[in-house]
Chains A and B, each alone.
Chain A
Amino acid sequence: MIPIEFFLAFAAILFAIGAYGVMTKNNTIIVLMCVELMLNAANINFVAFSAFTGDAMGQVFVIMTITVAAAEVAVGIAILLNAYKLKKATEVDGLASMRW
């Protein structure tokens, strides 16, 4: 059986890649995808812990997280489309009229 540390390290790396993408990418759609990576890192944690302790609550949490992530992306993409229609920009740099 694979030790739990491997799963945790994998999830942590996935989370770090997502966080790196969120901070460096200019395209808002890629940023949203990176947020998804971060959410899935947490899902892997949940499933790993759930499998190792034999407790079902972790898996319930994963289903809920996936649902929430789907809803968030649906609303997020709609908002990006709206921004593109009104401001002709999907880049982070093009959405900086308000500062401070």
Chain B
Amino acid sequence: MNIDPTIISNIFGDFTPIAPMIIMILGALIMPAIYLSSKRRNLVTGAMLAVIIISIIINFVLLVGEYTGTYAELFTYDAFSGLMILLFQTVVFLVALVSAASTETTRLYYGAYSSLLLAATTGMMFVATAGDLLTIFLGVELVSISSYALVAMKRNDPRAAEAAVKYVIIGGISTALTIYGISMLYGVTGTTNIADIATVLSTDGFSWAFGIAMITIIAGYGFKIAAVPFHMWAPDVYEGAATPVSLFLATGSKKMGLVVFFKIFLVLFVAGSAVASFATVEMQYVFAIIAAITMTVGNVVAIAQPNIKRMLAYSSIAQAGYILIVMAVMSEYALTGGLFHMFTHVFMKGGAFLIVGALISVGIGEKISDYRGLAKRAPFVAFAMLLFLFSLAGIPPLAGFTSKFILFSSAIYGDGGVMTQWIWLAFIAILNSAISLYYYARVVKAMYIEKGETTDKIKIPNAFAVAIAICVVFVIILGIYPQLILDFCSNAAAALFA
């Protein structure tokens, strides 16, 4: 494709690297006004979708036109940030589409809700373009503070209030740990620019203060991606929040945490691997152990969950564990697989949450036992759920299989040959996929084999049907024709490693 990014840079000038975010933040500012003046949720949804689509078009032109640029030394737009911005925009598109149709989301404060949603997405996009610890920190905080409020904004449910309190306290601790680590890193290197930090560290080597900084930053952002042992908040928050918000957190906020991991640790340790005293190999083992424990705990605990939102929450903890393989292997191929898996995860986990949300909106509960006989009552929904769950488990030819294949094989193949170092990690990951099939199959069994109390047909809201259809299409297409996204992923990985 031949698209010229100068169309965008003629309009935005120096602001071109942050053009998609400018549109998003303007949208966030006008949404409450639109809602207050019209009091119609559908109008706000339409305006939100318009803003998101404009932002997607701008980003897509920049991404396909291979634009690179820097704004104020704080934001850098390249193939990596462009791809991640596209991911966050996809997530918020799905959430915005269904928010008004869901019965769980707030009615009275819908203007504030949509504003917070767009603001949180802007934060994620800022993190994707950040080249400085300051912008990463502020972006993550923008997302966190917005999502505390989003979680609390559920109608008539004390569980949401409890989840929000837990989220705010855990989030505060994570912020404090991170900022303490960043202050140590600043003290060691005298700068907050990530590229400069890498340069300083590759001459100075490892020091105890750098070690403290790394531990606290890993712990702080480990909370954001819900890596074990920092995962205890995630199931409570995903269960307590309105389902569109759970979707947003599980697919968007978690991906942002992973982007931070890639941006800080991958860059620092790959740069530092030239220095013998830098402990890159030790850190690889630390990440490998975190990855192995995260996927195992996520999958094993998910087996025991009767609540489907909680089960999906544990399953996304496990998925984050799979993606953390990238941090252990630290190769360009692994990052390509990781980014691809992040994309497919949006559609399969997002799709599953959309179905849960749609069914709650028509009065079906959150328990797996409530899904009995669903195949008779809503054949399309049940079949879509089957596709998403099998894709999450990694069954060919669905998207989840392709992305898991690339991700796991990157732990075995690398540098043009077989690496023996990480075979055990790939083995644990494959074993975990087998475990996960058990609890996904339980839902499928309830839907297709067990008999329900009624066989009344269910009609889910149209907005949900459209969003689910989008997810189904992508789960199938990305499984059969992964090149659609894979080329962008390998460009993005190359840009981060450059």
Query: Which residues of A approach B to under 8 Å, CB–CB?
Result: 8, 11, 15, 18, 22, 28, 31-32, 35, 38-39, 41-43, 45-46, 48-49, 53, 55, 57-58, 60-61, 64-65, 68, 71-72, 75-76, 78-80, 82-83, 85-87, 95-98, 100
Q: Known contacts A42-B179, A42-B180, A79-B148; is A35 also within 8 Å of B173 by CB?
A: yes
Residue from B149, B164, B177 within 8 A of A83 (CB atoms):
B164
In contact, A97 and B159 (Cβ under 8 angstroms): yes
Q: Are B190 and A55 in contact (CB under 8 A)?
A: yes
**Contact sample, A vs B, 12 pairs, CB 8 Å cutoff:** A18-B176, A22-B173, A42-B180, A45-B187, A46-B186, A49-B187, A55-B190, A72-B144, A76-B169, A82-B161, A86-B158, A98-B163
Could you say which residues of chain B place their CB within 8 Å of the CB of A85?
A: 161
Asked if B304 and A100 sit within 8 Å, CB to CB, the answer is yes
A61 & B134 in contact (Cβ 8 Å cutoff) = yes
Count of interface residues, chain B, beta-carbon cutoff 8 Å: 42
- B370 interface residue per 8 A CB criterion: no
Asked if B145 and A39 sit within 8 Å, CB to CB, the answer is no
Q: Which of A45, A61, A86 touches B192 (beta carbons < 8 Å)?
A: A61
Question: B24: shortest Cβ distance to chain A, in Å?
Answer: 19
Query: In this assembly, does B236 line the interface, its C-beta being within 8 Å of a C-beta of chain A?
Result: yes
**Do A72 and B145 touch (CB < 8 A)?**
yes
Q: Do residues B180 and A64 form an inter-chain contact, with CB atoms below 8 A?
A: no
B168, B171, B175, B190 — most chain A CB neighbours (10 Å): B168
Minimal Cβ-Cβ distance residue in A for B190: A53
Name, among A32, A78, A85, A95, the residue most crowded by chain B CB atoms within 10 Å (CB to CB): A95
A79 touches B165 (CB 8 A): yes
B301 within 8 A of A: yes
A contacts with B: majority SS:
helix
Asked if B186 and A58 sit within 8 Å, CB to CB, the answer is yes
The answer to whether B161 and A45 have CB atoms under 8 Å apart is no
Q: Which of B23-70 contact A (CB under 8 A)?
A: none
**Nearest CB in chain A to that of B193: its residue:** A57
Q: Is B366 an interface residue (CB 8 A)?
A: no
Tell me whether B175 and A72 are in contact (CB under 8 A).
yes
A38–B173 Cα distance when bound, in Å, is 8
Closest chain B CB from A44 CB (angstroms): 8
Within 8 A of A (CB), among B153-185: 158-159, 161-166, 168-169, 171-173, 175-177, 179-180, 182-184
Could you say which residues of chain A place their CB within 8 Å of the CB of B183? Answer: 11, 42-43, 45-46, 49, 58, 61
- The smallest C-beta distance from A26 to any residue of chain B, in angstroms, reads 12
Decide if B152 touches A42 in the complex (CB within 8 Å).
Answer: no
**Inter-chain contact A75/B134, CB cutoff 8 Å:** no
B298 on the interface (CB 8 Å rule)?
no
Closest to B152 in A: A79
Bound complex: CA A58 to CA B138 (Å):
14
Contacts of B304 in A (CB 8 A): 100
B164 adjacent to A57 (CB under 8 Å): no
Q: A98–B162 contact, CB under 8 A? A: yes
**Shortest Cβ distance from B300 into chain A, in angstroms?**
12
In the complex, what residues of B have CB within 8 A of residue A35's CB?
169, 172-173, 175-176
Q: How far is it, in angstroms, between the C-alpha of A76 and the C-alpha of B176 when the chains are bound?
A: 15
- Contact across chains for A57 and B192 when beta carbons are under 8 A apart: yes
Question: How far apart sit A35 and B168, CA to CA, in the bound complex (Å)?
Answer: 10
- A76 and B141 CA atoms in complex are apart in Å by 13
B405, CB-defined interface residue at 8 Å: no
Answer yes or no: B191 CB below 8 A from chain A CBs: yes
Give the CA-CA distance A75 to B152 in the complex, in Å: 10
Interface pair A38/B168, CB less than 8 Å apart: no
Check B165 against A28 for contact (C-beta < 8 Å).
Answer: yes
B96 to chain A, nearest CB (A): 22
Q: Give 10 A-B pairs besides A35-B175, A39-B175, A45-B183 with Cβ atoms closer than 8 angstroms.
A: A15-B180, A48-B187, A49-B183, A64-B138, A72-B141, A76-B148, A82-B164, A95-B165, A98-B162, A98-B240
